[in-house]
C-alpha cells in the first residue's frame, strides 16, 4: 500500500516554478505577450523546450521557428500560456521511466498531440478561456507521478495486471486510495493553477460527472481525447493505452461529433 504521506512527500518534492517561469506565467496572465516573450527568453532551458515542441510536425510550421517572440506571436496568448504550462510539466519528467516505455521524445510528442487537439476541440465548442485551455497540460503530469509511484510497487502492479485486465488508474486507486486525477489536482494546487482545471480533469475521469453542464461537457471531450490519444500506436507501445478505462456511456452523446472533428477513419 502506498500511503497518502508518501504521495504528499513526492508531490512536496516537486520543485516550485523557477522565478523566470513564474514571471512569464504572471505576465501572460496579464495579457502582455511581447513582454512575456522577452522574459521567457532569459531562461535557456525553457527557450530550448519551446523551440523543440513548437517545431514538431503536428504544429504545421513549414520553416523552423527559433525566436521566442516569434513563437509567442504565432501561438497567441492562450497558446503561449499552454506551451509554458507544458514546460512546467516537463520539469517533472524523469530521466529513466520505471513502468511506462517513454523517453523525452515520446513524452513531448504526447504533450503536443494533446495540446493541439484540445485547442481544436475548444475552437469547435467556441470556448475561449486560457484557464480551460491550460487544463489539458496537467494530464501528462499524472502519467509522470503514476510512473514514479508504480516504480515503488512494480511487483504489486505486475501482479494485479496479470490477475485481471484492469487499467492503471484503478490499480493506483487500490494501491494508494487516490487516482490519477486526484494527483493531477494536487499538482494544480501546488502550482496555484485555476481551480477550474482540476474540476475539468476530475470530470474527465469519466466516473466523476459534474453538476456544472459546461464542466461536464468539457470533461466528456477530454475523456475521449485522452483515450483517443493513448490508443495511438506509439503510446500503445509505451503501454499507455491501459491508462484509464474507457467510459463509453459517459461520452456516448458527443462521440459522433468527436469522431467527425478528429477525422477518425
Q: Mind listing the pLDDT tens digit for each residue in 24-45?
A: 988 988 889 999 999 999 988 8
Q: How confident is the model at residue 22 (pLDDT cuts 50, 70, 90)?
A: confident
The C-alpha cell at 229 is: 490519444
Predicted confidence band of residue 241 (pLDDT cuts 50, 70, 90):
confident
Q: What's the average model confidence in pLDDT over 49-72? A: 83
pLDDT for the residue numbered 97: 92
Quickly list DSSP for 81-121: HHHHHHHHHHTT--SS-SSS---HHHHHHHHHHHHHHHHHH
Q: What is residue 137's predicted lDDT score, i.e. its pLDDT?
A: 85
Please give the C-alpha separations between residue 42 and each of 155, 205, 216, in angstroms, as whole numbers: 44, 37, 39
Q: Enter the C-alpha cell of residue 212.
A: 456544472
**Long-range pairs of 110-113 with CB within 8 A, sequence gap ≥ 24:** 110/140, 110/143, 110/229, 110/235, 110/240, 111/53, 111/86, 111/137, 111/140, 112/53, 112/56, 112/58, 112/59, 113/58, 113/229, 113/232
Q: Residue 63 above 60 pLDDT?
A: yes
161 contacts 171 by C-beta, under 8 angstroms: yes
Environment class of residue 95 by beta-carbon count within 10 Å: exposed (0-12), middle (13-18) or buried (19+)? exposed
Give the tens place of pLDDT for each residue, 98-150: 889 999 889 988 988 999 899 999 999 999 888 898 889 888 888 888 888 88
pLDDT digits (tens, 9 = 90+) for 183-230: 888 888 877 788 999 999 999 999 999 999 999 999 999 999 999 999
CA distance 87 to 78: 14
Classify residue 210 as exposed, middle or buried by CB count within 10 Å of its CB (0-12, 13-18, 19+).
middle
Q: What is the pTM of this model?
A: 0.83
Amino acid at each position: 500500500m502506498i500511503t497518502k504521506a508518501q504521495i504528499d512527500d513526492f508531490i512536496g518534492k516537486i520543485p516550485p516554478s523557477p522565478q523566470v517561469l513564474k514571471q512569464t506565467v504572471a505576465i501572460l496572465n496579464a495579457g502582455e505577450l511581447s513582454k512575456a516573450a522577452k522574459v521567457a527568453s532569459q531562461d535557456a532551458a525553457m527557450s530550448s523546450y519551446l523551440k523543440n515542441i513548437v517545431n514538431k510536425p503536428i504544429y504545421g510550421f513549414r520553416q523552423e521557428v527559433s525566436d521566442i517572440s516569434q513563437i509567442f506571436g504565432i501561438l497567441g496568448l492562450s497558446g503561449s500560456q499552454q506551451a509554458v504550462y507544458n514546460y512546467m510539466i516537463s520539469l517533472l519528467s524523469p530521466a529513466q521511466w520505471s513502468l511506462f516505455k517513454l523517453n523525452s521524445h515520446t513524452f513531448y510528442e504526447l504533450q503536443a498531440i494533446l495540446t493541439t487537439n484540445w485547442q481544436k476541440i475548444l475552437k469547435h465548442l467556441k470556448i475561449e478561456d486560457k484557464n480551460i485551455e491550460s487544463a489539458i497540460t496537467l494530464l501528462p503530469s499524472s502519467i509522470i507521478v503514476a510512473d514514479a509511484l508504480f516504480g515503488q510497487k512494480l511487483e504489486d502492479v505486475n501482479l494485479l495486471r496479470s490477475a485481471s485486465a484492469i487499467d492503471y488508474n484503478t490499480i493506483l486507486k487500490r494501491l494508494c486510495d487516490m487516482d490519477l486525477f486526484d494527483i493531477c489536482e494536487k499538482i494544480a494546487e501546488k502550482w496555484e493553477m485555476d481551480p477550474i482545471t482540476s474540476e475539468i480533469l476530475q470530470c474527465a475521469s469519466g466516473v466523476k460527472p459534474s453538476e456544472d453542464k459546461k464542466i461536464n461537457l468539457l470533461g466528456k471531450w477530454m475523456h475521449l481525447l485522452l483515450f483517443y490519444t493513448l490508443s495511438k500506436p506509439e503510446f500503445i507501445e509505451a503501454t499507455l493505452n491501459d491508462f484509464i478505462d474507457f467510459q463509453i456511456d459517459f461520452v456516448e452523446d458527443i462521440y459522433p461529433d468527436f469522431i467527425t472533428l478528429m477525422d477518425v477513419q
